[in-house]
Structure formats: structure tokens, C-alpha cells
Amino acid sequence: MIPTPRRQLAALLLLASILCHAQATPPALDAAPVAHINGAPVHALTLRALLHQARDQPGHPSADAVLAEIVADRLQARWARERFSAAQLYPAGTVGFAPGVGVDERLGGLLRSMHASELDAALRALPGAIEAIYPLAPATLERLFGAPGALRLGYDFTPDQAALAARTPLLRYRLGKTEPVILSVLDVFERQNVQGRMEFFNRRMDFIAHQARLRVAGLFVLDWASRRFGAAAVADLRQALDEQEAVRGALRLYGLAEGAEAHSPLQAALARQVTQADVNAFYSAHKDQFRRTDKVRARHIRVASEALAKHIAAEVAAGQDFALLARRHSLAPNGKRGGDLGWVRQTAVPGWLAALALQQPAGQVSTPFRAPVGPSAPATWDIVLVAQRIDGFYPPGSETVRYMARKAIAHERARAEFTDARIALVRAAKVDMPSRLPGATGAP
């Protein structure tokens, strides 16, 4: 007989209690500190776990490198929280989980990854520890989630609904010899993202019961780890993961995380402080970043169907003479001249065909492009062939240079401010490390 999820979880929990009582004394290795930061310990479990987490990173960071990151993150997370609010560091996403939930999930997932065999053994034991799952009466469901099918602007509890959800039991469980614990509807609801909250409001009882069981499984992992390694070591690891999130939040605010630059208010403020003298100096030092195509010698062919345009482009790519094909097929007035556009020069606002020609590499026929004509005008497709390109530089006083330089300077200053703060925090702290890191191999 294949065990049901309930039987599996019950087995996991009860065997966990047996294992935990048998190993109530934390292993000396994970209880030992690997560093002290201003007198507070960093536990060996934290180093071992984050070294395990970093195993797939490029370069395979050493234990020393990972420990240095732990120390710097611990100091800079406090620095970040003093400067930014929780809402700034952990912006509420439309579909995201609460920050604490995300840290708990990372903690549980990391512990499961490190100790899969021990947890699998617990799962196979099969005794039961979920003592009751409470059905929710229709009247309670309506008070919690409103009338079925009602139009909603969001999926959050009102204060009255939250108070009722906190009083409404969903599941009773017991870990080992501890007293039974009740999970309320609110306990499970608050750990959902927006899709999960929608399922609650849609009264998906199978989903709700499954989420309750998952929550108990997560609590089991934390309980098992606390007995196995000590509550202080597990709390230290959770703190380190939370500090990673705070530092990532600060990186986003500084525009230094991937994709965050365009949305960074700090970089925008730094960009407004850039002077023209700063722009001129950056232009002189990084002139190669401002290259552009000044002019191209080009031809084009204009036809009335995409199929014909593709056929002509294929013929040119196969070696047919572009000018001959232009004389034969092009609808443009310069078709009789072999589609010659002459020298197409860079201007402040080039036309669409000029802009297309200026972007093409020399000697390679373009794919067909549909002309941007109005809805009542007949559709046409253009093919461009550039014979020669003359490159130059954007003028130092142009708006393009100013825009690009201001962004680059602001990014450099944001990175310098963040990095300088990180270095200064570490230098100012009292960090004690042993000469040899205990158990720093990364193996569980």
C-alpha cells in the first residue's frame, strides 16, 4: 500500500521525535564557533550550510571566502536596516511571499539538502503525529472568506476576518513528547503568496489541508535541526540567511542587483548630482563607449509582399547582384539606380529607413522590414544592403553622451558607496577567527 501524504508526514514527525531525543546533545563540530563578530559567535553550522549553498557558484568559493561573506553580510545587514525601512528592503510583490516566510523556506530547503538521508530515514518510519485535521463549517467559511463568487479587489483578511482566522483551528500536531500544538487558519494563510490566498478564498479545502501539512513538515525540519545541532546554531543560520536577504535588498536599492539599475531611486539621485565637468571627464576617459556609426553607403529594395522580400533577400545572400535585383523588383523611385541611397548620415532624428541602414553591418543583406505606414497606406517591405560604414563618436556635448555618462557615473558612485561601506564596517568591527576553520569542507 502506498502511504498517503498524511501517513508520510506522521511518520516523518514521529521518527523525528525519536531521532531528536536520541541526539539531544548537538555535535561538537556544529556547536563550535568559527568566528566572533564584536563578541557574538558565528556557528560552524552556518559556515557549513552556506558553503554547501555556494557549492555550485563559479570558482567554488573556499571556506575562508564564504566566512568572509558571512561576516560582511552580518555587519552590512545591520547598516542597511538602519538606513532603509523594511518596506524598502523587502518590497511587497504582487505575487511574492512575506520576507520571513521566504527565509524560513530557504532555511528548511537548505537543511533538507544537507541532510536528505537522515530526513528520508525519518520519513520511512511511518508512525503518526498529526492528531487531528479540523473541518471548516460552511458558516465559518463564509465568515472567513465572504460569499462564494463575490467580486474582490484583493485577497487579504480584514481585521475582523484575521481575528476569526486566528481563533479557527485547522490542524493539531505533536512533535515528540511536547504538548500538542494547534495550527490556525491564520497561521497557514499568512504564509501564502497571492495565488495561495486566492485558493483560500476559493475554498479549496484540499489545498488548505495540504498547505497545513507542509507547514507542519517545515516545523518538523526546524525542530529536528534544533535538537540535532542546537537551537542557537539553527537561529544563527536563519539569521545569516535573513542577512543575505537584507544585503540583497540594499543592492537592489543601490541599483547593483541584476535588472535593478533602471528602478533605483538612489542611482537616480546620484545621476542628478553629476555635473557637466563630470560628464566631460568621463567622456575623455571612456571615449570608446561613445562610438557610433557616422554614415553608411547603402542600397535598398522596396516590394509589396513579404514573401517576395524574403525571396530577394535569399537571392542576395546566395550571391545575386543587389543592384540588378533592385532594378528588376524595387517599387522605390531609386530602383532604376539599383536602389542606391548614397551616403546615409547620422542625424539627430534619422528617418526610419536611415535608422535601419545605420544599424546594419557592412556586406550583409538585412532581413525584410515592413515600412511603418499608416493603416490606409499599402504595406511595403524593405531590404537593405550596406556596402561601407564610417564610424565615429557621439559629440561630447550631445544629449546622448550626457545621458549615458550620467548613468555610468551614477552606477560607479553607487557601487563605490556600497563597497566602501562594506569595507569600512569590516575594518571597524572586532572579528576573531581561528587559524584553522573546523569542519570547513562543506560536506554535511
CATH number at 345 reads 3.10.50.40
The answer to whether residue 369 is domain-embedded is yes
The answer to whether residue 349 is domain-embedded is yes
For residues 270 and 258, give the distance between their C-alpha atoms in angstroms, rounded to a whole number: 19
pLDDT at 29: 64
Are residues 126 and 252 both part of a single domain?
Answer: yes
Are residues 216 and 326 both part of a single domain?
Answer: no
Q: Which residues pair with 184 in a beta bridge?
A: 169
Are residues 302 and 242 both part of a single domain?
Answer: no
The answer to whether residue 61 is domain-embedded is yes
pLDDT at 440: 45
The answer to whether residue 122 is domain-embedded is yes
Among 393, 419, 434, residue at a domain's last position: 393
The total number of structural domains in the chain stands at: 2
Are residues 251 and 301 both part of a single domain?
Answer: no
> Residue-wise pLDDT tens for the chain (444 aa)?
333 333 333 333 332 332 333 333 344 566 688 999 999 999 999 999 999 999 888 888 888 899 999 999 999 999 999 999 988 898 765 457 787 898 999 999 999 999 988 877 766 653 557 888 899 999 999 999 988 777 777 888 999 999 999 999 999 988 766 788 999 999 999 999 889 999 999 999 999 999 999 998 888 888 888 888 999 999 999 999 999 999 999 999 999 988 766 788 899 999 999 999 999 999 999 999 999 889 999 999 999 999 999 999 999 999 999 999 999 999 999 999 999 999 999 887 889 999 999 999 999 999 999 999 888 888 999 999 999 999 999 999 899 999 999 999 999 999 999 999 999 999 999 998 765 554 444 443
* 224: nearest Cα among 369, 407, 23, 3: 23
User: 373 is in which domain, residue-wise?
Assistant: 288-393
Are residues 361 and 239 both part of a single domain?
Answer: no
SS3 content of the chain, % helix, strand, coil (to 5): 55, 15, 30
DSSP assignment of 99-116, as one string? HHHHHHHHHHHHHHHHTH
Are residues 106 and 157 both part of a single domain?
Answer: yes
Are residues 115 and 10 both part of a single domain?
Answer: yes
Among 393, 414, 437, residue at a domain's last position: 393
For residues 244 and 177, give the distance between their C-alpha atoms in angstroms, rounded to a whole number: 35
The answer to whether residue 150 is domain-embedded is yes
The answer to whether residue 436 is domain-embedded is no
Are residues 345 and 217 both part of a single domain?
Answer: no
Are residues 292 and 168 both part of a single domain?
Answer: no
For residues 255 and 310, give the distance between their C-alpha atoms in angstroms, rounded to a whole number: 43
For residues 317 and 199, give the distance between their C-alpha atoms in angstroms, rounded to a whole number: 56
For residues 195 and 187, give the distance between their C-alpha atoms in angstroms, rounded to a whole number: 16
pLDDT at 94: 46
Are residues 229 and 304 both part of a single domain?
Answer: no
pLDDT at 30: 66
Are residues 45 and 163 both part of a single domain?
Answer: yes
For residues 89 and 218, give the distance between their C-alpha atoms in angstroms, rounded to a whole number: 25
Are residues 133 and 96 both part of a single domain?
Answer: yes
The answer to whether residue 135 is domain-embedded is yes
Cα 94 to the center of its chain, rounded Å = 14
The answer to whether residue 426 is domain-embedded is no
**Number of neighbours of residue 149 by Cβ within 10 angstroms:** 7
